[in-house]
Amino acid sequence: MGRRNRKGDPVHGWFVIDKPEGITSTKTVAIIKKLANAKKAGHGGTLDPLATGILPIALGEATKTVPYIVDRTKEYEFTVEWGRASTTDDREGCITATSDIRPDRRAIERLIPNFTGLIEQIPPAFSAIKVGGERAYDLARKGKTFDIPSRNIRIYDLALLGIPDCDHALFRVVSGAGAYMRALARDLAIALGTVGHLTQLRRTRVGPFSLDNGISLDELKEFGHIAAVLEYLLPVETALDDIPALALTGAEASKLRHGQAVTLLRKEDIERVIDLSDGATVLATNQGKPLALAEFSAGKVRPFKVLKL
């Protein structure tokens, strides 16, 4: 990989990793951080070790944009096994109940509309949800009994992709933030008069990141130089594709970099802000380069996250 700065280099941008099964999101971040020799790294939404697929990893200043990825729409494909419930709602848990009922295609397709739109969901017992200040999975591992309150989640689309055999069904789902696919698999089974658990899960998209621009850990590891690895680094602003950009002059950019508000009330400024609503979040740029996330309000642009690129 060549010579490295032991403390890491100031690397900024996004890697779209196609995470393999059997590795945690945290471990994946550590591997990418080492391969890129980056000072700072984080991920845009946890994937369980059992799951594969898109894990966006932010380096350097891109970590400031992580919240704009975590809250984006996500797409998954998952397989449910009917007839067996588990402690974890997936194949890694202990079997807690069984049923001889196996739903057919007609029953499944008739049920799907009940699981689209705004629905209530109780997260799995083995999840990172905090209960009384402790993680639910820690309480579950200790064998403690506890309740997790239900919450509203958004399912934009749910489709049955196939029934490989009477025990399994494959689904595709497009969801909002906070939806657990393990809980969705569990609840589908219960609503169909049986029990079930998730056996396979693949995330195919997170916001602007999809399998089309993803790369596997094995592929990155094969490169012999940091420069080759960094060729797959996407710009920081890739995560902000749904936020309007606002071009600033050099003098305006200088003020914004120092945390100062920029006033845009002159006639010549109208074209730049005419499409912006009061209170809108914008990506301030200068000569095509991102400067800061800012709020446009009352004719002023006030930075709240300056990007030091």
Considering the chain, tell me which residue range(s) the CATH 2.30.130.60 domain(s) occupy: 243-306
Q: CA 280, CA 240: separation in Å to the nearest integer?
A: 14
Q: Residue 278 is inside which H or E element, if any?
A: none
Across all residues in the chain, what is the average pLDDT? Answer: 93
Residue 293 burial (10 A CB sphere; 0-12, 13-18, 19+): buried
Q: 9-65: per-residue pLDDT in tens?
A: 999 999 999 999 999 999 999 999 999 999 999 999 889 999 999 999 999 999 999
Give the position of tokens 């739903």: 103
The pLDDT tens digits of the residues spanning 134-148 come to: 888 887 787 888 888
Residue range 83-136, pLDDT digits in tens: 999 999 999 999 999 999 999 999 999 999 999 999 999 998 887 788 888 888
Calpha distance 298→273 (Å, rounded): 11
Separation between Cα atoms, residue 31 and residue 17, nearest integer Å: 11
pLDDT band at 269 (very low <50, low <70, confident <90, very high): confident
Say whether pLDDT at 4 is over 80: no
Q: What's the confidence (pLDDT) of residue 147? A: 83
Question: Is 275 tagged catalytic?
Answer: no
Catalytic-role residue among 18, 48, 89, 187:
48
CATH classification of 74-206 is 3.40.50.920, yes or no?
no
How much of the chain exceeds pLDDT 70, in percent? 98
Task: Look up tokens 């219960």; give the residue.
Answer: 190
Amino acid at residue number 260: Q
* Superfamily (CATH H level) for 13-71+208-239: Pseudouridine synthase (3.30.2350.10)
| CATH 3.30.2350.10-classified regions of the chain | 13-71+208-239, 74-206
